[in-house]
Amino acid sequence: MSTTSPRRVDYLRLSVTDRCNLRCVYCMPPEGVPPRSHDEILSYEELLVFAAAAVAAGITRVRVTGGEPLVRKGFVGFIERLAALEGLTDLSLTTNAILLPACAAELRAAGLKRVNVSIDSLDPERYARLTRGGSLTEALAGLDAALAAGFSPVKVNAVLLAGVEGEVDGFVELIRRCDVHVRFIEYMPLDRRLAADRTFVPAGILLERLHAEHAVEAVDGPFGLGPARYYRVPGARGTIGFIAGVSDHFCAGCNRLRLMADGRLKTCLFSAPERELDVRPLLGRPAELAAAIDAAIDGKNFDRLVEAPDSGRGMSQIGG
């Protein structure tokens, strides 16, 4: 187990696919990403080998991401095996929720504890535009399925893009009506092909409006350590949070690793491709894999990256 890292690194984001059933404007180009063959993506067995080694190295929390994880066949069985790892205390999922009604109860029974649902707009037309054809009705049905299945907390992620300023009241109404926690996330231009026509919206703009119109109060993070800063709206069941990774970076407190679906390990969302580690050759060599994970943790950079390298990969390929 790693002991020399200056910060506790106990959180792994585990991407199981780079494919998605939506084409969100900030995540991938209209045509999607170049399809990878099955041989280029880690099998569930390989993902489990890595996850077990990561847990042995001190990882206690795993969030499964994509692309859209639910598009991969056999996902419920994978979650059941992942949840059984001794030492793993928290297992969560990030999803667009379109496919969640069909499997939410099964995922809960398999050991999944928490769900984050990506819904960038509560206006049907704007949602369809941002997702390039997605249905807000289907996404909200997925959100309802997560609540009905008993997941807690259920969080709603909304990327801060131009036009979101007009939706503050809608999201406030959502947390009044439902026991969900909305987090507004500043857009981070990882792939500059997608950033060219995106207008940066700082978290502070929405926060000012919330203070002025809804008398919000800052609260301590209700979900333990994490980058979000939370606010309570009087009378609401849930909270509003902000993840301001651009205007108020949180690099010094970062506690995570990321494994992409193709087997490349990132210690930072913004790290250049040449700093990634291909773990696939190590999966059959336990001692070397353990040493590599320890080295990644010990070598993690907690300093702010002033300018992110342009890797030419969107968020669906990196895994969030």
- Per-residue pLDDT of 143-175, as tens digits, reads 999 999 999 999 999 999 999 999 999 999 999
The CATH number of the domain holding residue 77 is 3.20.20.70
- Token pair listed for 205: 């703009």
Q: Give the pLDDT confidence of 174-209 residue by residue, as tens digits.
A: 999 999 999 999 887 665 554 555 567 899 999 999
Question: Is 2 a domain residue?
Answer: no
Domain that residue 213 falls in: 11-318
Residue 45 falls inside a structural domain: yes
6 within a domain of the structure (yes/no):
no
Asked whether residue 250 is assigned to any structural domain, the reply reads yes
Q: Are 108 and 149 in contact (CB under 8 A)?
A: yes
Looking at the domain assignment, is residue 154 inside a domain? yes
Q: Under DSSP, is residue 241 helix (H, G, I), strand (E, B) or coil?
A: strand
pLDDT in tens, 277-286: 999 999 999 9
pTM for the full predicted model: 0.90
Q: What is the DSSP string of 148-208?
A: HTT-SSEEEEEEE-TTGGGGHHHHHHHHHHSSEEEEEEE---SSHHHHTTPPP--HHHHHH
CA dihedral 68, 72, 75, 78 (to 10 degrees): -110
Does residue 170 fall inside a structural domain? yes
CA 126 vs CA 9, 46, 113, 178, 183: distances in Å: 37, 39, 30, 22, 18
Q: How many domains are there within the chain?
A: 1
Interval 249-272: pLDDT, tens:
666 678 889 999 999 999 887 777
